[in-house]
Amino acid sequence: MPAALILIADGTEETEFVATYDVLVRAGFSVKSVGVGLKNEFATCTRNIRIIPDEHDLGTFKYNSESPEYDVLILPGGGPGAATFCASEPVLEVISAFRVHKKWVAAICAGTTALVANVKKSDSGSEEKGTVTSHPSVEAEIKAEGWTYSQERCVVDDRFKLITSRGPGTVLLFALTIVEQLCGREKRKDVEGPMLMPASDSLDGTA
């Protein structure tokens, strides 16, 4: 059973968090949500929806940084939430742990900026900068740091084990792409069939 770690902060985009969590559970993933810098026991998301994460604080959350037991790290967007991720030492450390051990990191919307902040802090240079996408509002910021930028709705960079997407309107495609990369095309079809996903939301345009 694949395992996913998904982060949440005050100001996280709730659709991106909830839809990703939901689709992964449908696919049989073990999913753990962890808060980052929360002011309360819950995260207050961009539309003031409150979500209580499985674990309150990434700073005290125990995971094996030498060999992360999770198969994918997920960074939802939302401008304020993404800013919190970028400024959080524990977030940047967990991104590094996943990337060093060649685990998948998936970011959507402004969440992609946390990848940029991680590489910038580590000073690892262009060799760690893959092809990504994001919400258009942070496109210039990402390009300015030397990343290859795509306008595609969802981008998979196999070389760097990165999955990125654009915003709330692409979140189901994002989540299903995570399923496909970790579990295969057939498992994706098993999940998207009962969800009545249109063919246009398949990566290759087929149902």
Catalogue the active-site residues.
Answer: 16, 109, 135
Distance CA 50, CA 199 (A): 33
Q: What is the DSSP string of 69-118?
A: S-SEEEE---HHHHHHHHH-HHHHHHHHHHHHTT-EEEEEGGGHHHHHHH
Phi/psi for 114 (5° steps) reads -70, -35
Distance CA 79, CA 162 (A): 20
User: Do the Cβ atoms of 167 and 108 come closer than 8 Å?
Assistant: yes
Alpha helices in the chain (DSSP H): 14-26, 79-87, 89-100, 112-122, 139-144, 171-183, 185-192
